């Protein structure tokens, strides 16, 4: 009895002492985090509720409730930009998940020159984004760039050469493709790690039952890695809205407004027109949309994720 | 059926068939890898050509004569290497600050018992869901209010408090056997000493991963300098390069030379430290 009491007292003592140490260890990070990460978020919400829509009015900051949000829903340009962002995300997420899974399946088996292939596949991930974008602009030049020169050589008639970044219809898918190219390494590496965790015995059992490669993929591999697939889809959807850099450098929203995704639209509203409050309402709305998509995925995971 | 299978096996031995399949798939993977490199191949090729030949001779990968003027112009450019150095300096200042503040907080989350730990950690994690690009405008207004606009600290300071690495390091610290730190506690070590003498030395791979990623992300950072830096002299390589592109307009060969230099540091870094990258991404991915 006595022993237990003293033990628990000792525990409470460590608990308190550790609490103090923890406070010391975490405080610097926490303070900086609050100032530079959390504060801008709350400030964004605050700004979206006031009337700070031109530089002249800096000091009025009159509270106007959800008027900026109402404006967003009635602004066809804004809604168009959201839709464009969603379309872009859809193309990007589907493209990168399928391609990276394929790459991971290839890299997971015995291959000659595997290290060389792997390094080449991973390289775009670390290459400077702006440099890579400049290169793509030149490579995909629709009139005389190397890609279209090559297509011409293959016999594609001049009139039906793709316009890539300069075509009204093709600009957004091309941008999504370039983002896939650039980020492929991340998803591939995560898939590869998941594939390596699938127990070998499962495949051996299936082989004894006479299962072919396709059946093994459908019945064992895909279900076994489904938690990773789920994680990757969630993370990739969130990341897909982070495309400001690529779009800004590749097309600056053009041609016309073909690639004016929501983050570019927000930037323009704030910087070009000084609609700071409106821009922040749009940003908060974007966050809400992303949150809804993420929650929907969370709900849908029961249907296809096997833990 | 059985017989046919055996016949087939007799005609083509399994080993030969395996070698054939592996060869075909190896070739396919290698070609995919080459396709991924296509833009860089054209980049290098065009950077060694006079501008007039970039499009005329687009498909000649190896130029007839090695044209070095583009690179000479980059070296002579009054700003290019200023941006280059700015990016390197910002990374070099951010890395130790981030390594220290993040790792010591991660230690507390991984090893110490205190009230509200899980809630606090969840709060940190939740903010990862917010795309950083969505807070560019409020950050711009805040930095303006405290006079950080056109100051490189506006890029360095916020980058120090990074939640992604807090998560990564915590995961890594948790894999270090608890017995080690408990034994040290009994020997009268304080937590600061356990952190610096036991946990950090055992976490070299995770720390190296963090240093490498930090360097690459800062090297590739575009939105921050784009929004918060006005002076040409203070720009980073990304924003500088874009200005360079706009200035050179139709001089594609020169742009390609500029791009080549901008790609080199991280590509070299990556090639020699691939193992750490793969580990870093794989652990954060699987345990997420």
**Taking CB atoms and an 8 Å cutoff, what residues of chain A touch B127?**
37-38, 41
Could you tell me if A248 and A104 lie in one domain? yes
Q: What is the model's pLDDT at position A14?
A: 60
Going by pLDDT thresholds of 50, 70 and 90, the confidence category of residue A3 is very low
The answer to whether B112 contacts chain A (CB < 8 Å) is yes
Whether residue B259 and residue A112 make contact (CB cut-off 8 A), yes or no, is no
**Partner residue facing B58 (CB), from A21, A149, A239:** A149
DSSP line for A126-153? TS-HHHHHHHHHHHT-TTT-HHHHHHHH
| Whole-angstrom distance, CA of residue B207 vs CA of residue A244 | 29
**Partner residue facing A44 (CB), from B138, B270, B271:** B138
| Whole-angstrom distance, CA of residue B188 vs CA of residue B196 | 15
What does each C-alpha distance from A158 to A137, A138, A166, A181, B52 come to in angstroms? Answer: 19, 18, 15, 26, 22
> pLDDT at residue A6 above 50?
no
Buried b (16+ CB within 10 A) or exposed e, A2-25: eeeeeeeeeeeeeeeebbebbeeb
Contact A276, A72 (CB under 8 A): no
Q: What is the model's pLDDT at position B89?
A: 96
What would the mean pLDDT of A122-137 be, rounded to a whole number? 92
The answer to whether B252 contacts chain A (CB < 8 Å) is yes
**Taking CB atoms and an 8 Å cutoff, what residues of chain A touch B29?**
103, 106-107, 111, 113-114, 117
CATH 1.10.3720.10 fits domain B71-287: yes
The separation between the first and the last C-alpha atoms of chain B, rounded to the nearest angstrom, is 48
pLDDT in tens, chain B (288 residues): 444 455 555 567 778 888 899 999 999 999 999 999 999 999 999 999 998 888 887 788 888 888 888 999 999 999 999 999 999 999 999 999 999 999 999 999 998 888 888 899 888 888 888 888 888 989 998 898 889 999 999 999 999 999 988 988 888 898 888 888 888 888 888 889 999 999 999 988 889 989 998 999 999 999 999 999 999 999 999 999 999 888 888 888 899 999 999 999 999 988 888 888 888 888 766 544
Is residue A54 included in any domain, yes or no?
Answer: no
Q: Which domain holds residue A205?
A: 66-304
Q: What six digits make up the tokens of B101?
A: 């503040």
> pLDDT at residue A56 above 70?
no
Q: Tens digit of pLDDT for each residue in A206-220?
A: 888 888 888 999 999
Q: What six digits make up the tokens of B121?
A: 């950690």
Going by pLDDT thresholds of 50, 70 and 90, the confidence category of residue A11 is low
Domain ranges of chain B: 2-47, 71-287
Report how many domains make up chain A.
2
Could you tell me if A36 and A168 lie in one domain? no
The answer to whether A76 contacts chain B (CB < 8 Å) is no
What does each C-alpha distance from A197 to A6, A202, A272 come to in angstroms? Answer: 45, 11, 50
Could you tell me if A147 and A2 lie in one domain? no
At residue B137's C-alpha, the angle toward residues B132 and B139, to 5°, is 70
Could you tell me if A36 and A121 lie in one domain? no
How many contacts (CB atoms, under 8 Å) link A and B?
286
| Whole-angstrom distance, CA of residue B246 vs CA of residue B231 | 16
**Taking CB atoms and an 8 Å cutoff, what residues of chain A touch B102?**
29
Q: What six digits make up the tokens of A234?
A: 């969630």
Burial class (CB in 10 A: 0-12, 13-18, 19+), A297: middle
Could you tell me if A214 and A87 lie in one domain? yes
Measured in angstroms, the CA of B231 and the nearest CA of chain A are apart by: 17
Range 60-99 of B in CB contact (< 8 A) with A? none
The sign of the dihedral angle between the CA atoms of A289, A291, A293, A296 is: negative
| Whole-angstrom distance, CA of residue B181 vs CA of residue B198 | 7
**Taking CB atoms and an 8 Å cutoff, what residues of chain A touch B22?**
109-112
**Partner residue facing A283 (CB), from B46, B137, B158:** B137
Whether residue A235 and residue B139 make contact (CB cut-off 8 A), yes or no, is no
DSSP tag of B61: S
At residue B59's C-alpha, the angle toward residues B57 and B61, to 5°, is 100
Whether residue B105 and residue A113 make contact (CB cut-off 8 A), yes or no, is no
Helix, strand or coil, per DSSP, at residue A63: strand
What would the mean pLDDT of A182-200 be, rounded to a whole number? 91
Q: What is the pTM of this model?
A: 0.89
Q: What six digits make up the tokens of A28?
A: 């610097």
The sign of the dihedral angle between the CA atoms of B245, B247, B253, B255 is: negative
Is residue A11 included in any domain, yes or no?
Answer: yes
Could you tell me if A21 and A128 lie in one domain? no
What is the distance, to the nearest Å, from the Cα of residue A25 to the centroid of all Cα atoms in its chain?
Answer: 31
Give the residue carrying structure tokens 């995919």. B32
> pLDDT at residue A44 above 50?
yes
Is residue A58 included in any domain, yes or no?
Answer: no
Could you tell me if A41 and A70 lie in one domain? no
- Relative orientation angle of helices A114-122 and B14-47, to the nearest 10 degrees: 40
Whether residue A131 and residue B271 make contact (CB cut-off 8 A), yes or no, is no
Q: Tens digit of pLDDT for each residue in A249-266?
A: 999 998 999 999 999 999
The answer to whether B222 contacts chain A (CB < 8 Å) is yes
Could you tell me if A131 and A11 lie in one domain? no
The answer to whether B183 contacts chain A (CB < 8 Å) is no
Could you tell me if A24 and A163 lie in one domain? no
Give the residue carrying structure tokens 């000659």. A112
List the alpha helices (DSSP H) in chain B: 2-11, 14-47, 51-56, 69-76, 80-111, 117-127, 136-145, 153-160, 163-174, 178-186, 191-193, 200-202, 204-219, 223-228, 237-248, 252-287
Q: What is the model's pLDDT at position A5?
A: 46
Could you tell me if A31 and A133 lie in one domain? no
Greatest alpha-carbon pair distance for chain A in Å reads: 93
Could you tell me if A19 and A73 lie in one domain? no
The helix (H) or strand (E) run that includes residue A5 is helix A2-33
Q: Tens digit of pLDDT for each residue in A147-182?
A: 999 999 998 988 889 999 999 999 999 999 999 999
What would the mean pLDDT of A105-123 be, rounded to a whole number? 92
Q: What six digits make up the tokens of B244?
A: 């360079």
Is residue A114 included in any domain, yes or no?
Answer: yes
- The dihedral region occupied by A135, where left means phi > 0, alpha psi between -120 and 50, and beta the remainder, is alpha
In degrees and rounded to multiples of 5, residue A216 shows phi and psi of -65, -40
Taking the CA atoms of residue A130, residue A133, residue A137 and residue A140 in that order, the dihedral angle to the nearest 10 degrees is 160
What is the distance, to the nearest Å, from the Cα of residue A173 to the centroid of all Cα atoms in its chain?
Answer: 16
Buried b (16+ CB within 10 A) or exposed e, A181-202: bbbbbbbbbbbbbbbeeeeeee
Could you tell me if A43 and A79 lie in one domain? no
| Whole-angstrom distance, CA of residue A33 vs CA of residue A27 | 10
The helix (H) or strand (E) run that includes residue A51 is strand A50-51
Q: Which residues contact B196 (CB under 8 A, 6 or more apart)?
A: none
Q: Which residue of A has its CA nearest to B284?
A: A190
**Partner residue facing B138 (CB), from A47, A244, A267:** A47
| Whole-angstrom distance, CA of residue A170 vs CA of residue A149 | 18
The sign of the dihedral angle between the CA atoms of A68, A73, A74, A76 is: positive
| Whole-angstrom distance, CA of residue B94 vs CA of residue B163 | 14
Greatest alpha-carbon pair distance for chain B in Å reads: 83
What is the distance, to the nearest Å, from the Cα of residue B108 to the centroid of all Cα atoms in its chain?
Answer: 26
What would the mean pLDDT of A23-38 be, rounded to a whole number? 92
| Whole-angstrom distance, CA of residue A277 vs CA of residue A266 | 10
**Greater pLDDT, B104 or A56:** B104
**Taking CB atoms and an 8 Å cutoff, what residues of chain A touch B136?**
244, 267
List the alpha helices (DSSP H) in A56-209: 67-74, 76-107, 114-122, 129-139, 146-153, 171-196, 200-208
pLDDT, averaged across chain A: 88
């Amino acid at each position: 009895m006595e022993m237990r009491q003293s033990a628990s007292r000792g525990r409470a003592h460590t608990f308190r002492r550790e609490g103090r140490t923890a406070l010391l260890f975490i405080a610097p990070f926490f303070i900086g985090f609050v100032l530079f990460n959390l504060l801008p978020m709350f400030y964004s919400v605050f700004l979206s509720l006031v009337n700070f829509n031109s530089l002249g009015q800096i000091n009025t900051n009159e509270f106007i409730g959800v008027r900026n949000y109402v404006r967003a829903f009635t602004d066809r340009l804004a809604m168009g930009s959201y839709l464009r962002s969603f379309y872009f995300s859809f193309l990007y997420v589907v493209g990168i998940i399928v391609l990276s899974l394929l790459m991971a399946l290839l890299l997971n088996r015995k291959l000659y020159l595997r290290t060389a292939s792997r390094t080449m596949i991973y390289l775009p991930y670390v290459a400077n984004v702006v440099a890579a974008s400049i290169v793509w602009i030149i490579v995909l030049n629709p009139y005389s760039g190397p890609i279209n020169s090559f297509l011409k050589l293959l016999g594609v008639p001049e009139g039906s050469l793709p316009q890539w970044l300069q075509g009204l219809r093709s600009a957004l898918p091309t941008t999504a493709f370039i983002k896939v190219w650039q980020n492929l390494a991340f998803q591939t590496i995560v898939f590869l790690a998941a594939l390596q965790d699938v127990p070998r015995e499962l495949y051996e059992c299936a082989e004894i039952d006479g299962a072919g490669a396709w059946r093994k993929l459908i019945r064992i591999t895909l279900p076994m890695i489904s938690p990773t697939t789920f994680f990757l889809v969630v993370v990739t959807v969130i990341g897909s809205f982070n495309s400001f850099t690529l779009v800004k450098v590749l097309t600056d929203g053009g041609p016309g407004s073909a690639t004016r995704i929501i983050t570019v639209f927000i930037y323009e509203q704030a910087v070009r027109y000084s609609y700071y409050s409106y821009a922040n309402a749009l940003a908060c709305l974007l966050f809400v949309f992303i949150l809804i998509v993420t929650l929907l995925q969370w709900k849908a995971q029961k249907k296809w994720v096997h833990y | 059926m059985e017989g046919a299978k055996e016949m087939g096996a007799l005609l083509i031995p399994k080993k030969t068939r395996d070698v054939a399949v592996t060869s075909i798939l190896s070739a396919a993977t290698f070609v995919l890898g080459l396709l991924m490199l296509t833009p860089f191949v054209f980049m290098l090729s065009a950077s060694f050509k006079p501008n007039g030949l970039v499009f005329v001779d687009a498909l000649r990968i190896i130029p007839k004569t090695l044209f070095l003027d583009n690179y000479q112009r980059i070296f002579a450019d009054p700003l290019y290497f200023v941006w280059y150095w700015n990016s390197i300096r910002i990374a070099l200042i951010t890395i130790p600050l981030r390594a220290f503040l993040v790792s010591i907080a991660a230690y507390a989350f991984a090893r110490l018992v205190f009230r509200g730990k899980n809630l606090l950690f969840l709060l940190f994690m939740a903010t990862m869901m917010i795309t950083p690009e969505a807070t560019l405008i409020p950050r711009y207004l805040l930095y303006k209010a405290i006079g950080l606009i056109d100051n490189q600290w506006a890029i360095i300071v916020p980058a120090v408090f990074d939640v992604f690495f807090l998560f990564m390091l915590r995961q890594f610290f948790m894999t270090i056997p608890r017995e080690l730190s408990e034994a040290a506690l009994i020997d009268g070590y304080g937590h600061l000493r356990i952190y610096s003498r036991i946990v950090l030395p055992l976490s070299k791979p995770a720390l190296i991963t963090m240093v490498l990623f930090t360097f690459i992300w800062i090297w590739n950072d575009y939105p921050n300098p784009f929004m918060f830096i006005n002076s040409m002299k203070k720009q980073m390589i990304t924003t500088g390069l874009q200005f360079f592109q706009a200035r050179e307009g139709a001089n594609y060969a020169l742009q390609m030379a500029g791009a080549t230099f901008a790609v080199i540091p991280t590509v070299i870094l990556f090639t020699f430290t691939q193992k750490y990258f793969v580990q870093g991404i794989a652990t954060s991915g699987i345990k997420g």
